[in-house]
Chain A
Amino acid sequence: MDETVRERIVKLTNSKRVVLFMKGSKMFPQCGFSAQVVGILKESGVDFDTHNILSDQELRQGLKEISNWPTYPQLYVDGKLVGGCDIVTELHETGQLAEILSP
């Protein structure tokens, strides 16, 4: 991967404390799994950014490599990958997500 591309993507993972890379947007998720994570984050009341990987092919491919994670959505907190839909849902159900999201 081109170094400037990598830098751009790493910057995006830090665009806010909580960042969701997803299919579609916060307002219009285009995949059930992305919608589920948006729902959980909204419920938690945390302020979060979303980036639509469907409209950015460079990001879509590049982040898979950087994260070592082949699917979307991907939730980043403090610049680190927390997980995809399954992990976020499980962390939410066990109450651990609130801990991770709290500053």
Chain B
Amino acid sequence: MIAWALLQEARRRSGLTQAELANRAGVPQSTVAKIERGRRDPSLSTLERLVRAAGLELRIQLAPRDDHDLQLIDGMLDLTPEERLASLEHQLAAFSNVEVLRGQR
């Protein structure tokens, strides 16, 4: 769960300013600002309160973990820094080939 993204989206949908949302939720405006900038991870209850103040509901579900990102990280950590950059360059080269093919259509 990415708290800052949830809160930004909730506030965007509500049309409220940070100060208005904070006032409705009974928290300092700086709390909203810090969460939205990723500088503070709110407790679940605080996030729930803020989302409710925006007129929305926070629903949380359990789901199987998607560890794809972690697998990619493990793959990179098995490489040396130089090999990691080479891997990136290889990816970028592949994408640039796609761009060339697109231009040839």
Chain A partners chain B: no
Residues of A whose CB lies within 8 Å of any CB of B are: none
